[in-house]
Amino acid sequence: MRILVVEDDPDLRRVLTDALKDNGYVVDSAGDGVEGHYLGENEPYDAVILDLGLPEMDGIKVLEKWRKAGRTMPVLILTARDRWSDKVKGLDAGADDYVVKPFFTEEVLARIRTLLRRSAGISTSDIECGPLRIDTRAARVTVEGNPVKLTSLEYRLLAYLAHHKGRVVSRTELVEHLYDQDFDRDSNTIEVFVGRLRKKLGISLIQTLRGLGYKLDESAAEPEANAAH
Ligand code: CA
């Protein structure tokens, strides 16, 4: 899951970026409205944290422009405590939720998880797929109750597929959502990671659809050794 943080306060931007990274997300950040708007318009984010008081272009304007251009990613706005009217303006401009400053990072993380789940049509913080269970709060994965240790990239890959369970996800889409903008992207490496992930899970929940991409599907849950690829 790839998140954009638009916040002009460098300390706050760092706190949010670090917390998101620690929780298994890929993060891009911008310190002003123009750069933030550009990134949100051109890169495929799974969610955005958008401060409203920004230099160059204010957050409301940024949000209005995205929505007008048909950008539908979930947006969490950050508002100042004494500016209740900002919340109303922000929600009217197309924000999905808001957090009032000062906030606890945990609250922002919880709201981001909720927005990601909601946009994927999932109602609980645990995502299940056959014997696989992903606790998105703790970034923990189990198969039939047994913990599976994944690297952060493997976790991101699995979490992305799980949020889009039952749908074919192309390699290009995975690359765009698993790496930040500065990463040297090579869609061939995705295949390697999928292979490793399958081996670690020990069950074949991830189907390969030649030329199309991958699909997490519980109907394919057989022991990996017997499964066809
Ligand atoms: Ca600000």
Tokens of 57: 């272009």
Percentage of the chain lying above the pLDDT 70 cut? 94
Distance 55 CA to ligand 1 centre (A): 8
Tokens of 172: 């290009």
Residues 6+ apart with CB under 8 A from 90: 52, 59, 60, 63, 77, 79, 98
Q: How many residues does the chain have?
A: 229
Rounded Cα–Cα distance for residues 207 and 194 (Å): 10
Distance 63 CA to ligand 1 centre (A): 15
Span 185-214, average pLDDT: 89
- 26-69, pLDDT tens digit by residue? 999 999 999 999 999 999 999 999 999 999 999 999 999 999 99
Give the range among 13-22, 26-35, 38-47, 196-205 with minimum mean pLDDT. 196-205
| Domains of the chain, start order | 2-119 (3.40.50.2300), 126-226 (1.10.10.10)
Contact indicator for 205, 130 with CB cutoff of 8 Å: yes
pTM: 0.86
Q: What pLDDT does 226 receive? A: 45
Give the range among 8-12, 39-43, 186-190 with minimum mean pLDDT. 186-190
Give the range among 10-14, 204-208, 210-214, 225-229 with minimum mean pLDDT. 225-229
Distance 7 CA to ligand 1 centre (A): 6
Inform me whether the pLDDT recorded for 162 exceeds 80: yes
Inform me whether the pLDDT recorded for 229 exceeds 50: no
Distance 12 CA to ligand 1 centre (A): 9
